[in-house]
Amino acid sequence: MKFPVDCSLPGFEQVIFDQIALFEFNSFQVGVNALDDALKISIRNHLEKAISAKFNVPVQQEFPDLYLLLYYDRGFFELQPKSIFVEGKYKKFSRDIAQTFHYCFRCKGRGCSSCNFKGKLTEQSVQELIELVFFEAFNSNESKFHGCGREDVDVLMLGSGRPFVIELLFPKKRTVNLSELEEKVNLLLKGKIELSGLNFVAKERVVEIKNTSYDKVYSALCSYSGKLSQKKVDSFVGKKISIVQRTPERVEKRRVDKERKKYAIIKKCVLLENNTFIIELLASHGLYVKEFISGDGARTNPSISSLIGVNAVCNLLDVIEVCFENSEKK
């Protein structure tokens, strides 16, 4: 955020005060860019004392709420508020909502026939839906969404929810009642998204949450071709299956093509009518479950298809629990 100021005029500090007054902050730091080192130090000391007296807040050299950088010789200053980080869990009840905003890979946001000229891959995302409420609360206009893994657009996120941290950039307000904010989000987005456990966290929590691996329990409705018996599928229930999975074809454009060692435990499998079955399984972090079911042209080995001896595909997939007790650091 850049603002012009003529530091040669008497009382130029008032221009800075007027902009600072728009921000809520409990600490600040001043930096001055000037060719004259002595003048730079003098101006910085002057501004620190003036701002501290005007707003009754202390100077803080490390991680202040607000950083003022004055370009003395060039006639402008910048205000850089510290980002706010809010952690929580989200549930997703729609098969048309992505986790985060992504530009269209083809047009890079300009708009094309592939994205219906919207410039993005999906109409809605968890990030975009909740940030609108957060922006109003924190008087911010930009966010970054840090999830503990992600589910596909067409996958429901149920159970107790998936951990995330939303980072609010350039906030003007810092004191927000998160219980009320959570309630507002859940009311406005009822039937689409539900948040829980919102709390303020430090920046370091982003690294922790992105580097922690969780097993997950999935439920999948699958269809198959050929003949299959309940006895056949029951023979694999309860067994831990070691899996070698090559990056699936559907994501190899944006993921490194390599083999990963994963595991899964089939908790139950029930045959239904019309050559369908429901399977519930515990999967290690990062397992592509749809491909574990189909085999993905033998890129996943073994697969549900190879184990039961028929070609199976996943029609609907839900995350029904994130297993926090089985977490591990990468």
Cβ–Cβ under 8 Å, residues 53 and 22: no
The total of other beta-carbon atoms located within 10 Å of residue 251's CB is: 12
Cβ–Cβ under 8 Å, residues 280 and 269: yes
Q: What whole-number distance in Å separates Cα of residue 259 and Cα of residue 257?
A: 7
Catalytic site residue from 96, 152, 154, 215: 152
Residue type, 68: L
Q: What are phi and psi of 225, to 5 degrees?
A: -115, 140
Q: Which residues contact 7 (CB under 8 A, 6 or more apart)?
A: 43, 70, 72, 75
Cβ–Cβ under 8 Å, residues 32 and 44: yes
Alpha helices, H only, the chain: 13-20, 37-55, 126-138, 178-188, 204-210, 230-234, 289-294, 304-308
* 6 is known as an active-site residue: no
- Rounded CA Rg of the chain: 26
Q: Which of 91, 82, 63, 80 is nearest to 19 (CA)?
A: 80
For 99-254, list the strands marked E by DSSP.
124-125, 142-147, 155-169, 193-201, 212-225, 240-246
Q: Which helix (H) or strand (E) holds 95?
A: none
Q: Which residues are catalytic?
A: 152
